[in-house]
Structure 1
Amino acid sequence: MPIPSPFPTIDIPQKDIHSFLFEREDRPFPEDQVVYIDGNTKRQLTYADVRDQARTFGIGLKSQWGWQRGDVLAVYSTNQIDTPPVVWGTLWASGVITTASPSYGVEELSFQLKDSRAKALVTLVDLLPIAAQAAADAGIPKDRIIVLGDKTTKEYRHWKDIIDPSTSVKWRRVKALNPEKELAFLVYSSGTTGLPKGVMLSHKNIVANLLQFTPTDPLDWTEDRLVAFLPFFHIYGLTCIMHHAILRGLPTVVMDRFDLNKFCQHIQDYKVTFAYLVPPVILLLAKHPDVAKYDFSSLKMVNSGAAPLTRELVESVWARLKVSVKQGYGLSETSPVTHSMRWSQWKSHVGSVGPLVPNMTAKYVNEKGVEVPAGETGELWMAGPNIMMGYLNNPTATANAITSDGFFKTGDIGYQDGDGNFYITDRLKELIKYKGFQVPPAELEGLLLGHEKVDDCAVTGVYSPEMASEVPRAYIVLVAGVRRAKDTELELIRYVEDRVAHHKRLRGGVRFLDEIPKSISGKVLRRVLRDMAKGEGQGEAAKL
Structure 2
Amino acid sequence: MINVIENDGTLRGPNLQPIANNHDTALNDFSCSNKYLTPRHLGVIYLDHLCYSNKGSFLSYENEHRSNSISPREFVKYTKRFAHFISERHGNARFATVLLLNNTRFFFIPVVGTWFLGSSVSLFQPSSSRETIERQLMILKEELNLEEIVVITETFAIPKISNIGVDRIISLTPVPGYMSLQEIFMNDDNEVVEIFNREGTTSLQSEIAVTFWTSGSTGEPKGVLYSAENILNSIHYCSYVPFQIHHVIKNYEPSSLRLMILTNFFHPGGFTEGLRNILPQKRTGIILRSPNEYVDFSTTHLFNAIQTTKPNMIICSPEFAVKMNGASNDLSSQFDLSSVFVIYPIGGSINTNYEKKARNQFPSLKMICKGYGSTETLSISLGISDQHLGRLFPKYQLRILNPNGEPLGPNSVGDIVVKPGYGMRRYIGDHEYNITQDGFFYMGDVGYYDSAGKIFFKCRSKDLVKVHNHHVYPQEIESFISSKCSFVKDIGVFGQKDKNGIERLSGVIVLHHIEKGLSLQNVLERTFEAYKFPRYKWLQGGVRVTSAIPRNANGKIFRGRLPLLFNNASENV
**Alignment-derived partner of residue 515 in structure 1:** none
Asked if residue 338 in structure 1 is aligned to residue 380 in structure 2, the reply is yes
**Alignment-derived partner of residue 268 in structure 1:** 307
Contact 2:347/2:373 (8 A) holds in 1: yes
Q: Count residues in correspondence.
A: 428
**Alignment-derived partner of residue 306 in structure 1:** 347
Q: Distance in 1 between matches of 2:342 and 2:85?
A: 41
Structure 2 residues without counterparts, runs of 5 or longer = 1-7, 39-53, 142-147, 244-251, 292-296, 464-477, 483-487, 493-548, 552-557
**Alignment-derived partner of residue 473 in structure 1:** none
Q: CA deviation at 1:381?
A: 1.2
Q: Distance in 2 between matches of 1:67 and 1:160?
A: 24
Instruction: Describe the superposition over 1:257-277 as per-residue Cα deviations: whole angstroms up to 9, x where unpaired.
Output: 332110110000111222222
% same residue: 17
Q: CA deviation at 1:291?
A: 1.6
2:123 aligned to which of 95, 100, 103:
100
Q: Distance in 2 between matches of 1:528 and 1:29?
A: 46
**Alignment-derived partner of residue 412 in structure 1:** 445
Q: CA deviation at 1:199?
A: 0.8
Q: Distance in 1 between matches of 2:317 and 2:193?
A: 50
1:377 aligned to which of 410, 413, 436:
413
Asked if residue 162 in structure 1 is aligned to residue 203 in structure 2, the reply is no
**Alignment-derived partner of residue 434 in structure 2:** 401
Asked if residue 110 in structure 1 is aligned to residue 134 in structure 2, the reply is yes
Question: 1:378 is matched by which residue type in structure 2?
Answer: G
Q: Distance in 2 between matches of 1:333 and 1:420?
A: 22
Q: How do 1:134-533 residues align onto structure 2 when only pairs under 5 Å count?
A: 134=164, 138=165, 140-141=166-167, 144-148=168-172, 152-163=174-185, 182=207, 184-189=209-214, 196-218=221-243, 223-246=256-279, 248=281, 250-257=284-291, 258-289=297-328, 290-322=331-363, 323=365, 324-334=367-377, 336-341=378-383, 346=384, 349-394=385-430, 397-398=431-432, 400-428=433-461, 508=550, 532=563
Contact 1:60/1:163 (8 A) holds in 2: no
**For 2:400, what is the secondary structure of its paired residue?**
strand
Q: CA deviation at 1:120?
A: 0.8
**Alignment-derived partner of residue 49 in structure 2:** none
Q: TM-score, normalised by structure 2?
A: 0.61
Contact 1:232/1:242 (8 A) holds in 2: no
Looking at secondary structure, tell me which structure has more helix per residue.
1
Asked if residue 58 in structure 1 is aligned to residue 83 in structure 2, the reply is yes
Contact 2:261/2:316 (8 A) holds in 1: no
CA pair 304-528 structure 1, distance change in 2 beyond 3 A: closer
Contact 1:353/1:421 (8 A) holds in 2: yes
Q: Distance in 2 between matches of 1:293 and 1:409?
A: 45
Instruction: Describe the superposition over 1:370-402 as per-residue Cα deviations: whole angstroms up to 9, x where unpaired.
Output: 0011221111111233232221121xx22x333
Q: TM-score, normalised by structure 1?
A: 0.63
Contact 1:36/1:254 (8 A) holds in 2: no
Question: 2:124 is matched by which residue type in structure 1?
Answer: S
CA pair 228-124 structure 1, distance change in 2 beyond 3 A: farther
Q: CA deviation at 1:209?
A: 1.0
Structure 1 residues without counterparts, runs of 5 or longer = 431-462, 471-506, 510-526, 540-544
Q: Distance in 2 between matches of 1:415 and 1:299?
A: 32
Contact 1:35/1:250 (8 A) holds in 2: no
Instruction: Describe the superposition over 1:102-161 as per-residue Cα deviations: whole angstroms up to 9, x where unpaired.
Output: 624533432332222261112222211111122xxx1x33xx21234xx65344334354
Q: CA deviation at 1:425?
A: 2.3
2:157 aligned to which of 122, 127, 147:
127
Q: Distance in 1 between matches of 2:462 and 2:113?
A: 35
Q: Distance in 1 between matches of 2:218 and 2:309?
A: 44
**Alignment-derived partner of residue 48 in structure 2:** none
Q: Distance in 2 between matches of 1:21 and 1:81?
A: 31
CA pair 191-261 structure 1, distance change in 2 beyond 3 A: closer
Contact 1:225/1:273 (8 A) holds in 2: yes
